[in-house]
């Protein structure tokens, strides 16, 4: 499991939490190529540190290194207004009205009928932005169905 990229702490946990058959099966399962993270340093700590982020040196990742797309921002005032009202903001991607109009992010209040996806570990996957609520347009388009 370690050779396949699993964390030593995850392997230790699974060895205690699973029966031998389940553990043997999990040992055959590879790690997603989208989540390749180096867990070598985790051996030196009591818990996994591979997803820890140094916000001073962090850079938001584009879908490829040569990308020239700019950032798309979440309307910050609308976002904070909803939070101030005790509501839960959701963010959607609104496509442009034509091919020349960039998609933009729109904020709306969650209702009991809202369907949404929560994305976690955004910094570990390069989708964090410690400076503003914005992502490269290429990343936004990757998660959009438009
Ligand atoms: Zn780890
Ligand atoms: Zn990009």
Task: Categorize the per-residue pLDDT at 144 as very low, low, confident or very high, splitting at 50, 70 and 90.
Answer: low
Shared domain check, 82 and 120 = yes
CA 97 / ligand 2 centre spacing (Å): 21
What's the mean per-residue pLDDT of the chain? 86
Spatial separation of the C-alpha atoms in residues 77 and 85, rounded to whole Å: 12
Shared domain check, 75 and 137 = yes
For residues 80-105, average pLDDT = 85
Phi-psi region of 88 (alpha: psi -120 to 50; beta: other; left: phi over 0): beta
Shared domain check, 137 and 75 = yes
Range of the domain at 88: 71-142
In-domain check, residue 66: no
In-domain check, residue 65: no
CB-based contact 93:105 (threshold 8 Å): yes
In-domain check, residue 101: yes
Strands 134-136 and 71-73: antiparallel
Which one of the ligands is nearest to 64 CA? 2
Shared domain check, 90 and 136 = yes
Which one of the ligands is nearest to 6 CA? 1
Name the domain count of the chain.
Answer: 2
Task: Categorize the per-residue pLDDT at 35 as very low, low, confident or very high, splitting at 50, 70 and 90.
Answer: low
Shared domain check, 77 and 40 = no
| C-alpha dist (Å) from residue 77 to 66, 74, 80, 84, 109 | 32, 9, 5, 10, 13
In this structure, of 32-36, 48-52, 62-66, 117-121, the range with the lowest mean pLDDT score is 32-36
Shared domain check, 136 and 75 = yes
In-domain check, residue 61: no
In-domain check, residue 53: no
CA 142 / ligand 2 centre spacing (Å): 10
pLDDT value at position 145?
62
CA 6 / ligand 1 centre spacing (Å): 7
- Residues in Cβ contact with 49 at an 8 Å cutoff, skipping those fewer than 6 apart: 41, 42
Task: Categorize the per-residue pLDDT at 101 as very low, low, confident or very high, splitting at 50, 70 and 90.
Answer: confident
CA 23 / ligand 1 centre spacing (Å): 18
Spatial separation of the C-alpha atoms in residues 144 and 106, rounded to whole Å: 13
Shared domain check, 29 and 90 = no
Instruction: Examine the pLDDT at 109 and tell me if it is beyond 60.
Output: yes
Q: What share of the chain is helix, strand, coil (3-state, %, to 5)?
A: 30, 10, 60
CA 35 / ligand 1 centre spacing (Å): 12
Please tell me what DSSP assigns to residue 98. S
H or E element at residue 107:
strand 104-109
Shared domain check, 75 and 38 = no
pLDDT value at position 9?
96
In-domain check, residue 111: yes
Instruction: Examine the pLDDT at 119 and tell me if it is beyond 80.
Output: no
CA 108 / ligand 2 centre spacing (Å): 25
- Could you count the other beta carbons within 10 Å of the beta carbon of residue 142? 11
pLDDT value at position 99?
66
For residues 21-29, average pLDDT = 92
Shared domain check, 135 and 82 = yes
Shared domain check, 133 and 89 = yes
Shared domain check, 78 and 133 = yes
For residues 32-53, average pLDDT = 86
Which one of the ligands is nearest to 127 CA? 2
Task: Categorize the per-residue pLDDT at 10 as very low, low, confident or very high, splitting at 50, 70 and 90.
Answer: very high
pLDDT value at position 138?
87
In-domain check, residue 39: yes
Closest by CA to 109, choosing from 136, 80, 129, 135, is 80
In-domain check, residue 98: yes
């Amino acid at each position: 499991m370690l050779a396949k990229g699993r964390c030593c702490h995850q392997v230790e946990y699974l060895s205690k939490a699973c029966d031998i058959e389940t553990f043997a099966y999990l040992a055959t399962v590879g790690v997603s190529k989208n989540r390749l993270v180096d867990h070598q340093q985790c051996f030196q700590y009591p818990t996994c540190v591979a997803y820890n982020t140094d916000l001073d040196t962090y850079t938001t990742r584009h879908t490829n290194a040569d990308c020239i797309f700019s950032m798309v921002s979440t309307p910050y005032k609308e976002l904070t207004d909803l939070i101030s009202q005790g509501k839960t903001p959701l963010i959607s991607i609104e496509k442009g009205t034509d091919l020349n109009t960039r998609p933009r992010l729109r904020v709306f209040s969650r209702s009991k009928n809202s369907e949404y996806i929560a994305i976690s570990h955004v910094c570990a996957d390069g989708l964090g932005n410690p400076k503003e609520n914005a992502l490269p347009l290429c990343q936004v388009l990757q998660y959009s169905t438009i």
